[in-house]
Amino acid sequence: MKKIQHIMLFAAAALLTVSCASTRYYKQADEQFQRGNHVEAADLVLSSLQANHKNQDAMLLLKKVFPLAMDRLSADIDEARSGNDEFKWSTIADTYAKIHQLNDRYSGLPVLYHKKQKREITLQTTYYTTEYAQAKEKAAEEQYRAGMSLSSGDNKEQLRSAIFRFEKALAYVNNYKNSKDMINNLTNAASDIVLLLPEQSYYRMYRHWPLDETVYNDLQADLFQGTKKKKFMKLVDRDNLDLILKQQQLVLTGLTSSDTFMTIGELTNADTLVTYSINAVDYDEPDTVTTKSDRDKVVNLDKNDPEYDNYDNHKKPVTGTVYRFTRSSSVAIRAAYKIVNINNSEIIDSDTSDVRAEFVLEWVELEGDEEVLSSEEKRLLNTYTTEDKSFVELLAEAEKMLVEDLAKKILKNFN
């Protein structure tokens, strides 16, 4: 029986959610309709009916706004045809696509029956299949020509714009001319080739832990993962870098000269240099802070309490001394990074990163009546453990936090 009740409650909640969504979309659609934004209103009222096809108000609004939206889109096509915009066929193709999308959304609805009018709400839909196909061909051509025009330069932003145009051409017509080949050919030239180098620090070995090397390896790995989400960012391979360093008789963790950085950047064909340095590492060793609290209070006893009749007015006085212990330790690391354009030595970005890994252990000890404790203190009562996080564990946590923060800040500078 309870299972059936739960199913019924769940179904009622689902229906209420759908009804609320439909009402919300309808109100937004009506607002856009009043403003004369008929295409936007049609989109929203269709969403309302998709959420609840029995929404009577939405049916009537759709009946009014759908033809107006089609008229608006047809007028946009006529206006674009008569204009001289460089990408007018792209505008026309996109508008035909919008007409077909609205038609498809309406056609996908269940039968719309208006109870008060006692009739179905039906609309006329028109598909411009031939016109749409012709517009896409012309749109692909104008995007392709724009891409070819932009592809002859060596400016990265210009090359990226060219790639964007070739991608648009492919969106209109699959495998349009040699657009795919052009994208592949231009991507390397349009990309930032990034070289990561650590500056010399005093933390090559910190308390017998290879901090410098660990940060470098993990940051290189995080940035490499980040490049998978970046269209125009490539990271210089570590093996390639190590080979060049060997040829130059240099050690990665011993680099100090900005001139050396630039030279290595040029040798690796990088155009962007990312350097970082670990400036401080602080370790707060485990320390315990104790607070003592003497308490007395009166507790109102419940009738079911065995001691209910043992005290006047059923009020029990309680006393106790509470000792609260907080044991903590932490490792903090501060680092700084800088991103430099190798071609002109311009600093693109620079910032610091401060992270702290902490271990906190709390417990409570009591002398007296447990009733003097708060609910939190009862939870902490006699939970003491001798297990602390070791320095190495905290340092490893802080190093991971540092790498994540540095990678996030560095990656935001690239596309």
Arithmetic mean of pLDDT, 183-197: 92
Q: What is the DSSP string of 240-264?
A: HHHHHHHHTT--GGG---HHHHHHH
Residue 140 has which token pair? 């692909």
**Rounded distance, CA 337 to CA 259, Å?**
17
Residues 310 and 253 in one domain: yes
Arithmetic mean of pLDDT, 222-238: 91
Do 158 and 76 form a contact (C-beta atoms < 8 A)?
Answer: no
Residues 118 and 173 in one domain: no
Do 297 and 245 form a contact (C-beta atoms < 8 A)?
Answer: no
Residues 407 and 309 in one domain: yes
Residues 290 and 411 in one domain: yes
pLDDT band at residue 399 using 50, 70 and 90 as cut-offs: very high
Q: What is the CATH number of the domain that holds 273?
A: 3.40.50.10610
pLDDT band at residue 64 using 50, 70 and 90 as cut-offs: very high
Residue 18 has which token pair? 């759908």
Residues 252 and 400 in one domain: yes
pLDDT band at residue 207 using 50, 70 and 90 as cut-offs: low
pLDDT band at residue 206 using 50, 70 and 90 as cut-offs: low
Domain boundary among 164, 190, 216: 190
Arithmetic mean of pLDDT, 346-363: 95
Residues 143 and 123 in one domain: no
In a domain, 42, yes or no: yes
In a domain, 170, yes or no: yes
pLDDT at residue 104 is higher than 80: yes
Residue 58 Cα to chain centre, angstroms:
35
Helix boundaries (H) for 279-390: 375-380
In a domain, 2, yes or no: no
Residues 255 and 398 in one domain: yes
pLDDT band at residue 387 using 50, 70 and 90 as cut-offs: confident
**Rounded distance, CA 200 to CA 204, Å?**
8
Arithmetic mean of pLDDT, 282-310: 88
Arithmetic mean of pLDDT, 268-295: 91
Give the highest mean pLDDT range of 3-17, 96-110, 185-199, 211-225: 96-110
Q: What is the pLDDT of residue 208?
A: 64
Domain boundary among 76, 104, 127: 127
HSE toward the beta carbon, residue 19, CA cutoff 13 A: 7
Q: What is the pLDDT of residue 259?
A: 63
pLDDT at residue 322 is higher than 70: yes
Arithmetic mean of pLDDT, 194-202: 80
Q: What is the CATH number of the domain that holds 92?
A: 1.25.40
* The dihedral sign for the CA sequence 349, 342, 412, 277: negative
Helix boundaries (H) for 108-198: 129-150, 156-172, 179-190
Query: How many domains are there within the chain?
Result: 3
pLDDT at residue 239 is higher than 80: no
In a domain, 282, yes or no: yes
| Residue 204 vs residue 390, higher pLDDT | 390
Q: For 69-93, how does the pLDDT look when each residue is reduced to its tens digit (9 = 90+)? A: 999 999 999 999 999 999 999 999 9
Give the chain's mean pLDDT.
88
Going by C-beta distance under 8 Å and a sequence separation of 6 or more, which residues neighbour residue 297?
Answer: 317, 318, 371, 372
Q: For 1-58, how does the pLDDT look when each residue is reduced to its tens digit (9 = 90+)? A: 545 544 444 444 444 455 699 999 999 999 999 999 999 999 999 999 999 999 999 9
In a domain, 385, yes or no: yes
Arithmetic mean of pLDDT, 177-191: 95
**Rounded distance, CA 41 to CA 58, Å?**
11
Residues 85 and 230 in one domain: no
Range in 33-37, 48-52, 120-124, 253-257 the model is least confident about: 253-257
Domain boundary among 127, 145, 162: 127
In a domain, 4, yes or no: no
Residues 70 and 201 in one domain: no
pLDDT band at residue 250 using 50, 70 and 90 as cut-offs: low
Residues 308 and 205 in one domain: yes
Q: What is the pLDDT of residue 122?
A: 93
In a domain, 11, yes or no: no
* The dihedral sign for the CA sequence 294, 298, 303, 309: positive
pLDDT band at residue 162 using 50, 70 and 90 as cut-offs: very high
Range in 235-249, 318-332, 395-409 the model is least confident about: 235-249
**Rounded distance, CA 306 to CA 353, Å?**
60
Range of the structural domain that residue 170 is part of: 136-190
Q: What is the pLDDT of residue 261?
A: 67
pLDDT band at residue 268 using 50, 70 and 90 as cut-offs: confident
In a domain, 3, yes or no: no
